[in-house]
Structure 1
């Protein structure tokens, strides 16, 4: 029997509960981010209309707090946790004397397939296919030292983005002249605006077929996104940070790393907040300006650094709080969602379409930030209740069951076995 088939899914007794709870917590921010930027249609609106939705004082305050505390921070956290999960899988495989590579490749292949179905069949904003592709890139780093992993993470998260941004901004002007470069950039912006307008029209339709065809066209056009190398670099860098954290056991053994986690929480939240406040102030200053200065584009890398610091600070702070009995009872409510993260992520896309698309409640392009956040809170509370109910009866979430079954080449046992039943089976044997 192959190593892939001889492996098995992680049992409940082997799970790191703090990690599951943290993953569930990250899903809250991911849902709010996706809803405020994508599901409610704001990112597809012309700039003036998008600004009008957040014009009233309450909406401006909610929008600013979203930018400071949530936007991209939880996505960053979720990405880091993927790399940490890889480190756990690798450690467990080594403890069993097997290679992680065959199982991991098959696992990523299945995830890539799920991501493509999600992207073209449900929602164009899929991240799963990207995670799968970058996951394959993660394999060569598994045997590197911790120091080498951190160096590569720094290169991918800082050096490459800066080089890429400089090249993207400077090289066209050097090669073709400033005027020609500006015309090319304007043509690209106009083309992107046309694609966004076409998608928004499709999403506003009361026909599911029209909506999904618009989704497919937008997704196919996005395949040529010139920023894709930058995205892949940042995702891989975050994976490597998660790999390093998983090797060190930062989440698995908090007590041993309490001092380091405190520093990570303080520096992460501190630096992330400072950068976030600077970006927030600049956004407010240039909010009503029809043509913001071009130098604002150079803030992309510092802004990404802020996301990284804040996401790291959230992870470290959460891990520390989870060790306190009182806080563990509160934060542990997210654990079932973390164990069903893939199911929850896909459910959020379906719920977002049902609430905002024209064939659903038709709220797209009409929902201000405060109402969007309220909808997210209500829907996620329903998700949590569903996850608690489901895992009281089954071992995996439904999509997790499919993922595991395809990965291990056999249908996994879905029903939970009670302690008494398991004991009776043991006596019978």
Structure 2
């Protein structure tokens, strides 16, 4: 069973990176599982170029029945679920670091602030030099907001978490839609919205052309331009950061309650989360998927920018959270069974090297899809994109096992820790350390 470990004497003497033997294996395995889903989602929507294509071009790649099934499965079971888990684990990790700092009698703020600043730099470099869809710099910025809740009561944390993931999806879109109407009138607001959409489509089209170029420099310049053009984001950026903070807070609360560090004690609660999460998630996201399909087929007709569509979109976020929670609960419960633990534990090294694997996914994918590489951008249907992402991830599983059999950290994790602590961390595993990366003490 994966349970929290007591702090060693060396831990209490001062801040340092966590050793493999002190980690909670379940959390690393779950992080690896989440990274797989995030990669599939990123590949389908962004890395493959679909997010930059016109609706007509996207539809042309999804005509066969197989592609429609893959698209529906993705929308119902993948989209936003795994990034929710990843964000949840970020908040849970913060709670563990707080507990460790308190055990040492230290403040977690200075060290965690340095961690976030380094993460922001890594994320910014990732977005500008590799892939515009980076999430790390946003995590770092929201992480500073998360620290404001470190001393808040559990009830307060829960109140804010539920408010951010349920109220903000309604509030922000309403502000975006109706504030211009109140200030400038309906006609002027409609014209402004139309102009904004046209500008966004033009930017995406230009970016697709750049990414399709056979010149590496042209492709990466287009990638950086798209990131810089969207870095502000206005109210939409506020919504996205609010949702991430809400997920962080749910993780913070789970960490305080030792929900995943002591699964045996919370087995009944996890079963309820599994049942309710699946039920609510399938109802909210499933009904949304059905209504979208009916509108696309012409059975239902309503303005895509109208209030009913805004309401439907707003209901999706609570569904994402519910479904993601169900996945976490199911994973944790299965991990308590010996046979399942052996299978799911294969993902543990991937989770321990999540930063390295996340960055590597971007580097490999732009070579696969962009014009200077294999040139598949905008050309592949969903089923082939899923297969490619699965093969890349399988290679990462093998690489992670091999790497951690010799080294203590992944390359990016080593850099992150070394910059955080202000000195190079020992990289090689100590002689005689036989603690296999997939079965580190739980």
Shorter-chain TM band: over 0.9
For structure 1, which segment, 14-23 or 268-277, has the greater mean C-alpha deviation from structure 2 after superposition?
268-277
2:398 to 381, 385, 388: 385
CA distance in 2, matches of 1:130, 1:347: 19
1:217 to 216, 225, 228: 225
1:298 to 311, 330, 347: 311
Structure 2 length-normalised TM: 0.92
CA distance in 2, matches of 1:274, 1:164: 23
Report if the CA contact (8 A) 2:169-2:317 is conserved: no
Per the alignment, residue 362 of structure 1 pairs with 375
Pairwise CA distance, 1:160: 2.7
Does residue 135 of the first structure (1) align with residue 143 of the second (2)? yes
Report if the CA contact (8 A) 1:286-1:292 is conserved: no
CA distance in 2, matches of 1:418, 1:30: 35
Pairwise CA distance, 1:137: 0.7
Per the alignment, residue 154 of structure 2 pairs with 146
Change (3 A) 1:222 1:421: closer
Following TM superposition, the consecutive aligned residue runs of length 4 or more in structure 1 with deviations greater than 4 angstroms are: 288-292
For structure 1, which segment, 34-43 or 411-420, has the greater mean C-alpha deviation from structure 2 after superposition?
411-420
Per the alignment, residue 68 of structure 1 pairs with 76
CA distance in 2, matches of 1:291, 1:210: 40
1:231 to 233, 240, 251: 240
Pairwise CA distance, 1:286: 2.1
Report if the CA contact (8 A) 1:76-1:307 is conserved: yes
Mapping of residues 22-101 of structure 1, within 5 Å: 22-101=30-109
Number of matched residues? 419
Q: Unaligned regions of 5+ residues in structure 1, if any? A: 423-429
Q: Unaligned regions of 5+ residues in structure 2, if any? A: 1-10, 436-442
Change (3 A) 1:184 1:333: same
Per the alignment, residue 187 of structure 2 pairs with 179
Pairwise CA distance, 1:283: 2.1
Mapping of residues 235-254 of structure 1, within 5 Å: 235-254=244-263
CA distance in 2, matches of 1:22, 1:114: 23
Q: Partner of 1:286: helix, strand, or coil?
A: helix
RMSD value, Cα: 1.7
Mapping of residues 318-397 of structure 1, within 5 Å: 318-397=331-410
Change (3 A) 1:94 1:218: same
Report if the CA contact (8 A) 2:169-2:315 is conserved: no
1:160 to 164, 168, 182: 168
Pairwise CA distance, 1:162: 1.8
Mapping of residues 103-122 of structure 1, within 5 Å: 103-122=111-130
Pairwise CA distance, 1:291: 8.2
CA distance in 2, matches of 1:377, 1:318: 19
Pairwise CA distance, 1:159: 2.1
